[in-house]
């Protein structure tokens, strides 16, 4: 099957902060060398370890406004008082060229992407329970108590959107969650509907009886 040309796939991963999205994304990107990460624009300031153009493209509010006006974003949303958006051109080019892209975006963004690109595959990552989520949020140590409380409330609200997704993964164990995501990627890559019709027809013709 790998020899039959196909369209690229947009994989969306959402989940509340503390669900383990970044760890999961990193693990999945390590498994699939040919899966790329969509680097979002954000007006949020960088955290200590973050690198511009690798983790995000950190931009001013004015630059974000300009991109919106130019139609450069496939989706955007306000999350925790900051704006985040997915650049349109890289994801559309990837799909056209048969490359797969991973989008780590919130539930508002996922809704917009699914509307615009119905073939996108959405995965919701859940923490096992509220207590685990609270502990994970506190354990980060990068934000103060009020921020943690707000994130916990936001997280629980976000989880209400889980049933809208194509797949759900409960993140009890890091490796198990990565293996589940891996299975989803491998399964989607085998979907006949994603193959380029002409390439599929040419492949099938190879098996026709000789005259
Ligand atoms: P953080 O600031 O902790 O990196 O991310 C906060 C939230 O914003 C996460 O849930 C993340 O998935 C989401 N996010 C990151 N980039 C985008 C984006 O381009 N669009 C949307 N809608 N959400 C994003």
In order of their start, the domains of the chain are: 10-38+99-205 (3.40.50.300)
* Residue showing tokens 């979002």: 40
Residue having the nearest C-alpha atom to atom 17 of ligand 1:
105
pLDDT of 1 above 60: no
Residue 43: partners with Cβ closer than 8 Å, 6 or more residues away: 58, 59, 60, 61, 64, 82, 83, 84
pLDDT of residue 143: 65
Ligand 1, pocket-test mutation among 50, 84, 147, most atoms within 8 A of CB: 84
Confidence of residue 148 (pLDDT cuts 50, 70, 90): confident
**Contact 43 CB / ligand 1 (< 6 Å):** no
Model pLDDT for residues 34-60, shown as the tens digit of each residue: 999 999 999 999 999 999 999 999 999
- Over residues 79-93, mean pLDDT: 96
Is the pLDDT reported for residue 171 higher than 60? yes
pLDDT category, 154, cuts 50, 70, 90? Answer: confident
pTM of the full predicted structure? 0.93
- How far is residue 180's CA from residue 195's CA, in Å, rounded to a whole number? 23
Which pLDDT does position 151 carry in this prediction? Answer: 81
- Going by alpha carbons, the residue nearest to atom 24 of ligand 1 is 105
Q: Give the list of residues 6+ apart from residue 188 with CB closer than 8 angstroms, or none.
A: 9, 11, 121, 194
Percent of the chain whose predicted confidence (pLDDT) is above 70? 97
Question: Of ligand 1's atoms, which has the minimum distance to the CA of residue 73?
Answer: 19
- Integer Cα distance of 7 and 24 in angstroms: 24
């Amino acid at each position: 099957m790998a020899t039959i040309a196909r369209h690229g796939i947009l994989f969306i991963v959402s989940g509340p902060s503390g669900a383990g999205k970044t760890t999961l994304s990193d693990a999945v990107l390590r498994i699939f060398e040919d899966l790329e990460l969509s680097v979002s624009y954000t007006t949020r300031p960088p955290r200590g370890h973050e690198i511009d153009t690798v983790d995000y493209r950190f931009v001013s509010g004015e630059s974000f406004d300009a991109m919106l006006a130019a139609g450069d974003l496939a989706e955007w949303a306000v999350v925790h008082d900051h704006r985040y958006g997915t650049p349109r051109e890289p994801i559309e080019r990837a799909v056209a060229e048969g490359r797969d892209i991973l989008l780590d975006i919130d539930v508002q963004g996922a809704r917009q992407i699914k509307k615009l690109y119905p073939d996108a595959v959405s995965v919701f990552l859940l923490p096992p329970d509220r207590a685990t989520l609270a502990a994970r949020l506190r354990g980060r140590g990068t934000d103060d108590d009020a921020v943690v409380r707000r994130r916990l409330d936001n997280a629980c609200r976000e989880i209400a959107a889980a049933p809208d997704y194509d797949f759900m993964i409960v993140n009890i164990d890091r490796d198990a969650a990565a293996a589940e995501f891996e299975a989803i990627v491998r399964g989607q890559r085998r979907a006949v509907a994603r193959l380029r019709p002409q390439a599929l027809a040419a492949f099938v013709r190879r098996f026709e009886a000789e005259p």
